[in-house]
Amino acid sequence: METEKGESSSTFKMGNSAQERSLPYVPNCYAVPPSYEPRDALDSNSETIPTIDISRLKGSNDERRVIVNHGINQNILDDALTVAHGFFELPAKEKKKFMSNDVYAPIRYTTSLKDGLDKIQFWRIFLKHYAHPLHRWIHLWPQNPPEYREKMGKFCEEVRSLSLEIMRAITESLGLGRDYLSSRMDKNGMQVMAVNCYPPCPDPKTALGLPPHSDYSCITILLQNLIGLEIFDLSAHGSSGRWVLVPEVKGALKVHIGDHVEVLSNGLYKSVVHKVTLNEEKTRISSRACIVWVWTTR
Ligand SMILES: O=C(O)CCC(=O)C(=O)O
Ligand SMILES: [Fe+2]
């Protein structure tokens, strides 16, 4: 039976969401009310996101920085986006093999954060999987597209070593020494990959791909094929802040400070509030790695 615009969110179970079905309208349960985010602060300006040349953190003999300055070969980035896109192009039956609402599942395909519980739905489909240590998880990843494991695995490894490099610089800047976090990341570290797909949305002003949030990670590294990510610049306009659109720069990776580092640094580093806006014509793909250090009591 075809749907009515006002159908309730409980009818949008995963596998059956408006974005997976390419509905030609935005159902009410996707409409983000103005109170949900500081829309008054909407004043996107892609000029003000700083670009950091990460090669200055690396040894100057590092040949890889010639290719792109963060040291990750452009082919690895392109391949990661290609296999991610390939996965979302698969028939529903194939993707549903990974469908789960269990947030602790080592791999899961789903739509909203918690189907049936979230009051507002978001125009995102995602595959989330653990990625460190790679050999422990990779056998659970999709075998379709056939190159998914190899290409996404390579991306995860490269992004992980880049994250450790950045983390060394952060803890050094805090006076904690270069290895304070990075040395703990092998045993107690986690890497969670979210491969996100935001299909075209018939009314991008009404819905969001993801609501404003910060990541729970130490740091997050993100690769996108299209603009859509916006970050909240707290310091702008007095205390009212503003949303800033992150520009698409070929080969550039986005780095967010996550909640763990905000806590670790007593607020010297702030975790970044961000959200995802939508596009009427194109599918947006992003792959993001959350690098987390899991505190243990021992
Ligand atoms: O798709 C994006 O650009 C952001 C994704 C994101 O914020 C997340 O997965 O936590
Ligand atoms: Fe995020």
At 262-292, the pLDDT tens digits run 999 999 999 999 999 999 999 999 998 887 7
Distance 276 CA to ligand 1 centre (A): 7
Please check the confidence at residue 194 and state whether its pLDDT lies above 90. Answer: yes
Structural domain including 193 reads 18-297
Q: What is the pTM of this model?
A: 0.88
Does residue 6 lie within any of the structural domains?
A: no
Does residue 43 lie within any of the structural domains?
A: yes
- Comparing 34-48, 111-125, 137-151, 214-228, which segment has the lowest mean pLDDT? 34-48
Does residue 192 lie within any of the structural domains?
A: yes
At what angle are helices 74-89 and 148-173 packed, to 10 degrees? 130
Number of domains in the chain: 1
Does residue 10 lie within any of the structural domains?
A: no
pLDDT of residue 207: 94
Question: Whose CA is closest to 261, among 192, 215, 194?
Answer: 215
Does residue 129 lie within any of the structural domains?
A: yes
What's the ipTM? Answer: 0.99
Q: Which residue has the higher pLDDT, 294 or 214?
A: 214
Does residue 9 lie within any of the structural domains?
A: no
Ligand 1 pocket: which of 276, 285, 287 to mutate (most atoms <8 Å of CB)?
A: 276
C-alpha 225: how far from chain center: 12
Does residue 7 lie within any of the structural domains?
A: no
Which tens digit of pLDDT belongs to each residue from 133-154? 999 999 999 999 999 999 999 9
Q: Is the CB of 194 under 6 A from ligand 1?
A: yes
pLDDT of residue 64: 28
Q: What is the DSSP letter of 1?
A: -
pLDDT (mean) for 220-245: 84
Q: Is the CB of 193 under 6 A from ligand 1?
A: no
Which tens digit of pLDDT belongs to each residue from 75-114? 999 999 999 999 999 999 999 999 988 888 999 998 875 6
Signed CA dihedral, 67, 72, 74, 76: sign only: positive
Distance CA 168, CA 183 (A): 9
Does residue 11 lie within any of the structural domains?
A: no
Q: Is the CB of 274 under 6 A from ligand 1?
A: yes
Helix, strand, coil: what percent of the chain each, to 5?
A: 30, 20, 50
Q: Is the CB of 222 under 6 A from ligand 1?
A: yes
Q: Is the CB of 253 under 6 A from ligand 1?
A: no
Q: Is the CB of 210 under 6 A from ligand 1?
A: yes
pLDDT of residue 61: 38
Distance 275 CA to ligand 1 centre (A): 7
Signed CA dihedral, 28, 90, 225, 127: sign only: positive
CATH at 157: 2.60.120.330
